Each structure stands twice: as structure tokens, then as C-alpha cells.
Amino acid sequence: MAHDVQNQMRTQTEFEYSRRRSANEMRGQVTTFAIMIFLTLISFTAVYAGFSANLVVPIILLLAVIQVIMQLYYFMHMSHKGHENAKLFLFSGVVVAFITVLAFLTVVWW
């Protein structure tokens, strides 16, 4: 069976292109990670500063939503081609969850 294996050699240009693409992707992931750490520090600072809970809770929720979107887009590779079905199901689930929570809040508070 060893005779069925083919060695596929990449040219120098293909190797350089792959290397550059990987470096750009890694740079984007490190930048995204730094931004998420900064958003976490903002949340901790808002709590530590002793602001009103009416101000801190919406800020923390907004920053959490931003972080979830960034994690899905960059770390779960949703920015790559071929993930259209996963995006569709994920975002459909988010819409259904939002509508469900909104309906329950409306029923409870109205």
C-alpha cells in the first residue's frame, strides 16, 4: 500500500503565501485577544469604581455580547469560507433566544 502514497511538493511561492496567511491570521487572533482582555478590564474597573448597578449591569452585558461575537468570529473561525451553514444556525438560534427572552420579560413585567 505504500506505493499508493503520493508526495505533493509545494513550490516556494505557495509556501510563502501559506506562511504569510498564517501570520496574518495569528496577528488577528492576538489582536482580538488583547481587545477582549481590555474589555474585561473595563468591566472589572466599572465594578471596582463603585458605579450604580443600573449603570454597571448594562455595560457588562454589552461588553459580554461584544466578546461572544468576537470569539465566534475569530476563535471559532466563522470568518472563513465554508462555515455558512454553521453561521445560519448559530444566528438563527440567537434570534430565537432573543425573541423568547423578550417575550418572557414582556409577560412578566407587563
Average pLDDT over residues 33-57: 92
- Using alpha carbons only, give the angle 103, 107, 110 rounded to the nearest 5 degrees: 120
- What is the spatial distance between Cα 43 and Cα 65, in angstroms, rounded to a whole number? 12
Average pLDDT over residues 27-44: 92
Answer for the pair 63, 69: CB distance below 8 angstroms, yes or no: no
Show me where the domains of the chain are located.
Answer: 9-79, 81-110
Whole-number pLDDT of residue 7: 61
Whole-number pLDDT of residue 5: 61
Q: If pLDDT is split at 50, 70 and 90, which confidence band does 99 have?
A: very high
> Position of cell 443600573?
54
27-31, 68-72, 81-85: least confidently modelled range: 81-85
Whole-number pLDDT of residue 4: 61
